[in-house]
Structure 1
Amino acid sequence: MRKSRINVLGALMIVSLMFMVSCSKDTDPSETDLFVGTYRGAISYTDGEENISDADGRVTVAKVGDTYTFAFGTGIPNITGVKFQESDDGTYISVGDGLTGITISASNLNMLVTNDEGTWTADCER
């Protein structure tokens, strides 16, 4: 009887610790791999001379240090060095000079980035 109480108490302590760790509200996007993976959908790029679009494209998101890289298929240049901040609805928005216009969650990626190198769009899911 005493051994079963110790087992139950131990299990409750482990579950409590897991719950406390998983419910942290001040998680920095740079500390999570929530976005890492491949999103599929409509993507496009233009630099004024070249126009590339793919209705069934893909964007692979990778984490490098505290920034993210967006690798496109079909000859579209990658976007690198992107940082995020959390918005009120649980999605994350890109911040930084020339890299704004990206909204991402675990299941959706929406992008309209315009800078000196061109314009990228994406409307993707995973």
Structure 2
Amino acid sequence: MSATQSSQAADASAPWPTELRVAKDRRTLTVVYDDGASFALPAEYLRVTSPSAEVQGHSPSERKTVPGKMNVMIIGVEPVGNYAVKLVFDDMHDTGIYGFDYLRRLGETHAERWAEYLSELAAKGLSREPARR
């Protein structure tokens, strides 16, 4: 079996989302996988962990801590091929491509990543509250 065939075989056995649902209040994306796992991912969490270059940078040292997104909402979910979705937020951020494997990792590591995010905000003197206009 070639490396490509092996990779495809591994991908075929990976948990696959059977449902992606945005809550009526647009503040949560629920992802249900075919192995029974289910994750309710808050819009704020998804926004501040966006896989976009704007948030992640082009290396770990460039990653940004995004403040002020406590009230952000998901206004669109667009399929990207058969491996991901592009989420559109009401702050017009729409450049993150959320692979189904990335959504799974976000669900599995939600508590740790969220605690880390809150610590980063505090350390940088930033807030979850939106900036006043």
Normalized against structure 2, the TM-score is what? 0.28
TM-score normalised by length of structure 1: 0.29
Which structure features the higher share of strand residues? 1
Q: Which protein has the larger Cα radius of gyration, Structure 1 or Structure 2? A: 1
